[in-house]
Amino acid sequence: MSLEVKQLTKVYKHQKALDRISFEAKSGQVLGFLGPNGAGKSTTMKIASGYLFPDEGDVWINGVSVVEHPKQVSKMIGYLPEHNPLYLDMYVKEFLHFIASLYRLKGSSAQNQISTIIEKCGLGAEQHKKIGQLSKGYRQRVGLAKALVHDPEVIILDEPTTGLDPNQLLEIRKLIREIGRDKTLVLSTHIMQEVEAICEKVVIIHQGEIVAQDLLQNLKAGRGFTSVFLETEEQLRREWFELLKGIKEIHQIRENELEFLIYEASDIRKELLTVVQDRNLSLLGIRLQERNLESIFHQLTQS
């Protein structure tokens, strides 16, 4: 079970949406596909699901090419498109039956599968309601149920949590984590906490190119900058600190507060304190902060 993107290129009229991107997602490993809006996340997912045609490259699902056998691949993929399109006139159960029939599930096996999915997605109480009457959180569950109904091995979720309230967010994330345990799961998002909460592997894409791909822990460790914040009662000047070793950048946050971007191994707090003492300043605070995924994301995707 795997999803392999190879040298994928897609050109819209005047713009290269994807430029030879390659990455791989493996079974039991939730892959977070990150990028600012318009970076090419949805385009990639639309190609992987067989909805769009790439200009170059291919996506391989369990070794089967999406370009050549889109229909064969479609049976192995569960896809939740961006904005979660649903037939609002249909009842939840009716909709799932409709989808099941598109995937050639019939009779009692379809019945069983649908009941299992309804329970798994927590739709038991809503199954006889019209989709149009459901709240956004429940619609999202219906969308997930749709993606799971034919028991696919590879699951592609395009921004599955946009527009949910904090409680719904937690529930959907929990559900996604559960699903991801024994499937290959790729999800796109621009919410960093989500990636930190769900994903093992991260691919960051920016302007159609991959700018980083690694396991989440490696990514956080590898881009090892740490911030130190220093606050005093008096005004602070950058020049006082420029001679210290191990500093990459200094940002003046306020008149009396500086942020020092330092290389990971060098804790400069002691040296900073010496400067503060030498200049006879009254210290208000000094604090070390590890960089999170969010700052890595900013660093990689600001052009």
Partner 1 sequence: MGRLFLKEINAFFNHLTGYLLLAAFLVTLGLVVWVFPETSVLEYGFADLEALFVYAPLIFVFLVPAMTMRMIAEEKKSGTWELLMTSPLTNSQVVLAKYFAAVALIVLALLPALIYYYSVVQLGDPVGNIDSAGFFGSFIGLVMIGAVFAAIGIFSSALTENQITAFVIGVFLGFLLYFGFSAFSMLQRNDAALFLEEISLSYHYQSMGRGVIDSSNLIYFLSVIGSLLVLTGIMIKRK
Contact 249/261 with Cβ under 8 angstroms? yes
Nearer to partner 1, 14 or 71 (CB): 71
- In whole angstroms, how close is the CB of 150 to partner 1 at the nearest point? 9
| Those residues with Cβ within 8 angstroms of residue 171's Cβ, 6 or more apart along the chain or in another chain | 122, 137
Instruction: Establish if 49 lies at the interface with partner 1 (CB under 8 A).
Output: yes
| Those residues with Cβ within 8 angstroms of residue 277's Cβ, 6 or more apart along the chain or in another chain | none
What amino acid occupies position 121? C
Q: Which stretch binds partner 1 (CB under 8 A): 44-52, 161-169, 224-232, 237-245?
A: 44-52
- In whole angstroms, how close is the CB of 235 to partner 1 at the nearest point? 55
- In whole angstroms, how close is the CB of 80 to partner 1 at the nearest point? 10
What is the SS3 assignment for 261-272?
A: EEECCCCCHHHH
Judged by CB under 8 A, the residue of 51, 60, 229, 240 near partner 1 is 51
Q: Report the 10 Å Cβ neighbour count for 139.
A: 20
**Cα gap 252→231, rounded to integer Å:** 11
Eight-state DSSP code of residue 281? P
- In whole angstroms, how close is the CB of 203 to partner 1 at the nearest point? 21
Nearest Cα to Cα of residue 79 among 44, 113, 41, 49: 49
Q: Report the 10 Å Cβ neighbour count for 243.
A: 9
Region 93-112 residues binding partner 1, contact defined as CB under 8 A: 97-99, 101-104
- In whole angstroms, how close is the CB of 61 to partner 1 at the nearest point? 12
**Cα gap 169→137, rounded to integer Å:** 8
- In whole angstroms, how close is the CB of 147 to partner 1 at the nearest point? 10
Q: Is the Cα dihedral 271, 277, 281, 286 positive or negative?
A: positive
Nearer to partner 1, 15 or 101 (CB): 101
- Is 198 in a helix, a strand, or coil? helix
Residues 146-162, buried b or exposed e (16+ Cβ, 10 A)?
bbbbbebbbbbbbbbbe
Q: Which stretch binds partner 1 (CB under 8 A): 45-53, 209-217, 249-257, 271-279?
A: 45-53
Question: How many residues bind to partner 1 according to rule CB under 8 A?
Answer: 28
Eight-state DSSP code of residue 282? P
Nearer to partner 1, 33 or 79 (CB): 79
The residue ranges of DSSP E strands in 97-224, in sequence order, are 154-158, 184-189, 201-206, 209-215
Q: Which stretch binds partner 1 (CB under 8 A): 43-51, 220-228, 256-264, 269-277?
A: 43-51
Instruction: Establish if 163 lies at the interface with partner 1 (CB under 8 A).
Output: no
Residue 52-91 contact track with partner 1, rule CB under 8 A, x = bound: xx----------------xx--xx-x-x-xxx-xxxxx--
- In whole angstroms, how close is the CB of 101 to partner 1 at the nearest point? 4
Nearer to partner 1, 70 or 137 (CB): 70
Instruction: Establish if 213 lies at the interface with partner 1 (CB under 8 A).
Output: no
Where does this chain bind partner 1 (CB under 8 A)? 46, 49-53, 70-71, 74-75, 77, 79, 81-83, 85-89, 97-99, 101-104, 146
